[in-house]
Every structure is written in C-alpha cells, then in structure tokens.
Structure 1
C-alpha cells in the first residue's frame, strides 16, 4: 500500500492511476488549468480537525493564536490541504490574516521536498524555501522557525517536548467547540478519476461513487460490533458512541448536499489564499452523475 504522499505525487505528476485518492487542495489547483486532468466524485477518504496540527517552538514566545502574526511558519507545501484549512480557521475564528506571516516550505523530516504543483501566488503571500539540507522538524525545535502547520506531528514533538508543543494543548475540546459552532468536519482528501478515462466511460463516476457509499455503510455497522473489535483501539465502542453523540450517526458523510457547506468553506479559503484564481463552485469540482442522491 502506498503512502498518501506517494500516491498524490504519482497521480499528479504522471497520472499513473485510473482513479486515486488525492489531496483536496492539489485537486482544486489542477482545476485552474486549461483542460484539467481529473474529475472527482464526492467521496472523502480523509477528514481531520486540524487544531491539533499547529505546533510552536518553545523559543518563539507564542502562547495564543494572535501571537502568530508576523512570525515564520513552516509548511511542507503551501498548497497542502491541512495548511489551507489551518490558515482559514485561524482567519475565521481568530482574525489572523493568512498574508500576515512568512511561510517557510520544505521537507518535514527529510530534506529536499518541493511543491508538487507549480503555484502562481499573489505577491502579498510571502513564501520561501528552506535550505537543501534543512528540515522543518529540526528548525522548529531549534527556534529557526516559530511554528509549523502540518498534517503529521513532527518527530521532535515527541523526542523534544521541552522544545516543541501544540498551540492548542486541549485540542479535542477546542475542535468539538469548533464543530459545534460551524458544523464543519474538514475534508482533506477526495477520490479523483483521470478525465480521459471518465470521458470514455461516463458510467464509472456513479458506479464508483455507489461502491464507496455501500462500503462505508458496512464500515459504520462493523465499527459498532463489540463481539470482535475491527480496530486495535481498546475503547473503540466508547469512541464510536461518543462520536455519534457529537457528530451524528453519519459522522463521515459522502455526497454533495451533506458536505456543501464544508466544500464551499474550503473553496473560499483556497481562493482567498491565492491558490485558485476564482472561488470554485461545486459544479466545477464533481462529476455531474454524482449529484443525484440515491438510497442503498
């Protein structure tokens, strides 16, 4: 099984797969091109609340969100979905202009990472690469950058807790409050089909969408079975019951209408942060065959 990073790279650079999981942000960047390579279906394999993914250096003096203004913030890639959500949440919930900081890009744990896609950002956004032998993880612990917006916790958060900490230590409660206020469970990834495959086989979008929805219903059911746990989480049943109480029994919705508010929030962020020349519409993003809701 490929890591998501390798899957994204191979699909975006070489179109190696007929269909694949893709970064939502990367997919939206491709829609700004002439003759986009992909068309998506409203299936979202990855969702994540990202308040837990803002890390700060102990040397930065950052204690609260407003302290981020004017700081140097690491991001593996500016166009990554997780940082898009983080910047948008910080703007909407805490009044932090995404253009008020300097973004420093590069490998988190290994040097040499570059943006997967060529970007053409407005001048107001300050983005600069780190050195060829540097890593964001090390720079954060050493205080060379003040904070890090990322999808994966940096290794120094665990190995050097005196040097690296979360901006929101009580992130679970913060994220629950955020959901209660906004009704947003952030979408990270989408399933995309190569457009040439789709154009030759228009039936494939709805068929693939139905298959994912049916598989998800089986997963919902199996996660509630206590006779034999389906994950390596000892309190899986309690976690499922708590999740249902907080987010509802269909807590990971697929489809257009149940996600319209989340998707429109994301496309607004994407445009405001200079990644889309205009705010994309839902019709821009998904195969029209998937707009009709159906019952299993």
Structure 2
C-alpha cells in the first residue's frame, strides 16, 4: 500500500478519502497539516513537497510557464464567482467599479487567483484594464522567478487598514474574511445578479484551486495517479445532493477533461496574459497533457 502525502483541505468531496469511506486502489492519502491551504502552494511549486496538492489556477499557469515539475489533474477542488470579491467600506458616495481606474486596490498577492478573476471582470464588464490600477500587495508570487508588472506595489501593512484610512479604493477578499470586518460591503452592489449573468454567458464557475501531483510520481507510477483521480471523482459524486440545489459549490466542483473545463482555463489564460501574470500563450490542454499521456486520460 503506497502512502501519498496530500495537501488537500477536508471538503465534503475529499473527506471520504481521508476517513476511509472511499478506498483508493493500491494507495492511501495522508493529509498534510496545512492551514490555510494556500500555504501549501509555494512548497509544492518550489520543492514538490507533497505527492498531491491543491494549487491555485493562477499559480498553476505560472508553474506551467516556468516548467515546474508538477502535473495537473482535471479536478476542480473549489471555485467561485469573483463578483463579491471586491470590497469597500460602506458610505456615501460609494465607489463604483468603473471608478477604480487610476486608483489603488489591495490584494494579498497579484498572482492570487481570486484577484485574477476579479481583474478580468473589471476589464470585461466595467472597462477597467488591470494596467490602469495600482495593485498593492502583501505577498509575492509562489513560483520562483515569476515577474510582476510595474503597477504592483508591496506593503507590510494591513490592506483593510489601508482601505479604512483611504489609501486604497477597494480590497480583494474572500467573503468569509470580509464578513469578519465591520462595515465592509461588496463594491459591486448587484453582485448576485452579475454572477448569474456570468453563468448564463459562460457556462462555468471560475475555478480557484485544481489538483496537481508531482510529475515524477505520475510518470513512474501512473496507476496510483489514475486511482487518485478516480477516488477524487468518486468523492465529488458522493458529495452531490440527491436533488441539485444549484449552489455555487455544486456548479464549481467538477472533474473530467471536457470543453467546459478547457473554456474556463482558456478564460483564465487570457486574463493572465492581459494582466502580465504569464508572458506566453498557454493552450488549456497543455495543463493536462502529462495526465492524458501517462494516466490514460479522464
């Protein structure tokens, strides 16, 4: 029985793989003690510390560009619409998304995937290209050597406090964190309507985290990676409710190399190119080429 170190959160769709409800052929997963999960990303792309890991999509694109020896599986662990990820403090007048042009916006890292999708919405929907905003960050990219555009700044201070002081126009935050800060409100007031329109227009929920494995593991033992993929797929199926509710999580979490996944990755690549996160065009299928070649596809 082969043991795989796994930097995967305990989602409803992964919990059965860790508690033994779902068994993998020839291997078992040993859950790495990493919280929050984004702290696994740098060790994975810099040192391949885990056999299998979640990885943010923007970081994965930078890893592909840098030929980091990891291989993606066509499995989306978590995703969300970005329309509720831009926050400001409520008041009058309230900033409008188009008013961010020429302003300063805080985000943990410029290569953070939530920020990538939020900047895509600002550009596509509100006519605010990422290059016309100064992005104030507290962290650099996970991939060693990845470059940042000239309109990215670093700070050691709190982004929320900078927003409170008026030094920022908005910040990019996850809804659970924003809910802990009194007075924060979504910058896009009709975010619920906007995200459902995005779904109607595109047919996918933007992915935040996919699953990757060490490339040498995939090439030396493709059977164990195939078993891992099948187990992840079974976990996703088992977590789906008998009667679909249409929740964002149900629509976001998915497996299988299909046109929808490739379209979603293609949109991320376009945003990443426009925003200077990656410098070369990356074909969406390139992310999964090793998985297709060595593990026999999805």
Pairwise TM-score range, normalised by the shorter structure: 0.7 to 0.9
The alpha carbon displacement at 1:284 in A equals 1.6
Q: 2:171 aligns with which of 145, 148, 152?
A: 148
- Are residue 171 (structure 1) and residue 175 (structure 2) matched? no
Provide TM-score, normalisation by structure 1: 0.79
- Are residue 16 (structure 1) and residue 16 (structure 2) matched? no
Aligned to 1:25: 58
Structure 1 pair 213/30, CA: closer, same or farther in 2 (3 Å)?
same
Structure 1 pair 203/291, CA: closer, same or farther in 2 (3 Å)?
closer
Aligned to 1:127: 152
Aligned to 2:127: 95
Aligned to 1:82: 114
Structure 1 pair 56/208, CA: closer, same or farther in 2 (3 Å)?
same
Query: Residues 173-217 of structure 1: CA distance to partner in whole angstroms, max 9, x if unpaired?
Result: 221122112223101111101112222123344332222111211
Structure-1 separation of matches of 2:251 and 2:98: 35
Contact 2:122–2:128 under 8 Å retained in 1: yes
Structure-1 separation of matches of 2:181 and 2:46: 34
Structure 1 pair 55/204, CA: closer, same or farther in 2 (3 Å)?
same
Structure-2 separation of matches of 1:250 and 1:168: 22
The alpha carbon displacement at 1:264 in A equals 0.8
Query: In structure 1, the residue corresponding to 2:217 is in which secondary structure?
Result: helix
Aligned to 2:100: 68
Structure-2 separation of matches of 1:5 and 1:250: 22
Structure 1 pair 60/269, CA: closer, same or farther in 2 (3 Å)?
farther
The alpha carbon displacement at 1:127 in A equals 0.5
The alpha carbon displacement at 1:40 in A equals 0.5
Equivalenced residues, count:
260
Moved more, 166-175 or 22-31: 166-175
- Are residue 137 (structure 1) and residue 164 (structure 2) matched? no
The alpha carbon displacement at 1:12 in A equals 2.7
Query: Residues 191-250 of structure 1: CA distance to partner in whole angstroms, max 9, x if unpaired?
Result: 101112222123344332222111211111xx33xxxxxxxxxxxx7xx4344xx99x86
The alpha carbon displacement at 1:122 in A equals 4.6
Alignment of 1:1-296 (within 5 A): 1-3=33-35, 4-33=37-66, 35-58=67-90, 62-106=94-138, 113-117=139-143, 118-123=145-150, 126-130=151-155, 132=156, 134-151=157-174, 154=177, 158-161=180-183, 164-220=184-240, 223-224=241-242, 240-243=244-247, 252-257=253-258, 258-286=260-288, 287-289=291-293, 292-293=297-298
Structure-1 separation of matches of 2:281 and 2:92: 34
Gaps of 5+ in 2: 1-32
Alignment RMSD (CA, Å): 2.5
Structure-2 separation of matches of 1:43 and 1:13: 22
Structure-2 separation of matches of 1:60 and 1:17: 48
Structure 1 pair 140/250, CA: closer, same or farther in 2 (3 Å)?
closer
Query: In structure 2, the residue corresponding to 1:213 is in which secondary structure?
Result: helix
